[in-house]
Amino acid sequence: MKAVIFFGPKEIRLMDVPVPRPGPGEVLLKIGAALTCGTDFKAYRQGHKVLLGDPPSPFGHELAGTVVESGAGAEAFTAGMRAVAANSAPCDRCFFCRRAQTPLCDHLKLLNGAYAQYLLVPAHIVKHNLHPLDAGMDLRVAALAEPLACALHAVDAMSVERGERIAILGAGNMSLLLLSALKARGACVLVMGRGPRRLELARKAGADETASILETDPRKASRKWTEGVGPDCVFEAVGRADAWETALSMARKGGRVCLFGGCASGARVEVDAHRVHYEQLTLRGVFHHTPEYFRRAVELLSKSGVPADLLIEGQIALEEVPEYFRKMQDRSPLKTAVVPA
Ligand SMILES: [Zn+2]
Ligand SMILES: [Zn+2]
């Protein structure tokens, strides 16, 4: 089969590799659609130990497809069934899994290999995070389940309530998914980002207000939007130290800050300790998803609860993946569906 393999920063190649056979508990999927993701671009540019381990590594992690064959114990997944898989699952055994903090699982090994014709889904993912799909479900839309699950996790972790005024810093793909999750909870949302095109998309996707950080100071704009008070909760969806600092400066007294965008290893952020204490700020890091959020994401997508057509802007063949990453590496494209022949 054809598969895109990551060899190191800016080095991915289309290779011929054997089609894997499923062992006990495993399921072989024929990929129907894989989505490009900002994390894949980050990994492409600079490598990504957490995501990809030691190269050479299979590449791509947002996917949906059709079951080809299942191993002993996974017979519930029959050939021809359409399904979506998450890129990880808890081990059930470690300290963190036993305390229901599964994103912190000591054995969280991320599944990659979505940019390929076939993908072997390991037994622990089959057990927790492989879901059958309705026949009518578009596989490109279903493949949004993984990033959407991360967004649902974040919004839940911050206990967002109906009517709260929430600011999202950043207007990328994750920001639009956070926006969907926040609107589903009845929040009022301000999206702040750079490009006018992204902000327009955010408005189409339901943002109550948008502001360009190129034209206005994010703190001032978010204060103005809230009659001088400041947002109840701010979601940082950029993943840079300076954006974390901006997000911290935006929250109102007693407000919450969701530190959602992952910074590079070694990044340091200055925190106004006086303000955190006397203004009772809550700072919360949120990473990844859990089986419960993945299940909810699949459900929300099946009810068309996400404006997928705004997020997925195009489609390419598997053979085009290396060239696409080379060409788009310095831009921040929306999602593109990779559809293998
Ligand atoms: Zn992703
Ligand atoms: Zn674990």
Superfamily assignment of 2-146+288-338 in CATH?
Medium-chain alcohol dehydrogenases, catalytic domain (3.90.180.10)
From the CA of 278, how far away is ligand 1's center (Å)? 37
Residue 265's pLDDT is 84
Average pLDDT, rounded, for the chain = 96
Rounded distance from Cα 51 to ligand 1 centre (Å): 10
Contact between 233 and 160 (Cβ < 8 Å): yes
Q: Percentage of residues in the chain with pLDDT exceeding 70?
A: 100
Identical topology for domains 2-146+288-338 and 159-285: no
Q: Which residues contact 176 (CB under 8 A, 6 or more apart)?
A: 201, 202, 205, 307, 310, 311
| Residue with tokens 């671009």, as numbered in its chain | 41
pLDDT of res. 305: 79
- Kindly list the domain boundaries of the chain, sorted by start residue: 2-146+288-338, 159-285
Q: Does residue 332 register a pLDDT over 80? A: no
Which one of the ligands is nearest to 103 CA? 2
Interval 218-243: pLDDT, tens: 999 999 999 999 999 999 999 999 99
Q: Output the CA 85–ligand 1 centroid distance in Å.
A: 12
96 CA from centroid of ligand 2 (Å): 6
**Which residue reads 């954006």 in tokens?**
243
> Closest ligand to 106 CA?
2
Count CB atoms within 10 A of the CB of residue 269: 15
* Whether domain 159-285 has CATH 3.30.1050.10: no
Task: Identify the burial level of 265 via C-beta atoms within 10 angstroms of its C-beta, where 0-12 means exposed, 13-18 middle and 19 or more buried.
Answer: exposed
Reported as a single tens digit per residue, the pLDDT across 65-98 is 999 999 999 999 999 999 999 999 999 999 999 9
**Ligand 2 centroid – CA 101 distance (Å):** 8
* Three-class secondary structure of residue 241 per DSSP: helix
Work out the average pLDDT over 129-137. 95
Round to whole Å and give the CA distance between 61 and 289: 14
Q: Which ligand is nearest to the CA of 112?
A: 1
Residue 19 Cα distances to 2, 255, 300, 316, angstroms: 9, 51, 32, 22
pTM exceeding the 0.85 threshold for the entire prediction? yes
How do residues 283-316 score in pLDDT, each as one tens digit? 999 999 999 999 999 999 999 879 999 999 999 9
Q: Note if the bond before 56 is cis, omega within 30 degrees.
A: yes
For residue 222, give Cα distances in angstroms to 165, 195, 279.
10, 18, 17
Q: 162: CA distance to ligand 1 center in Å?
A: 28
- Rounded to the nearest angstrom, the distance between the alpha carbon of 312 and the centre of ligand 2 is 33
Those residues whose beta carbon sits under 5 angstroms from the ion ligand 1 are 37, 39, 147
For residue 266, CA distances in Å to 238, 249, 270, 338 come to 16, 22, 13, 33
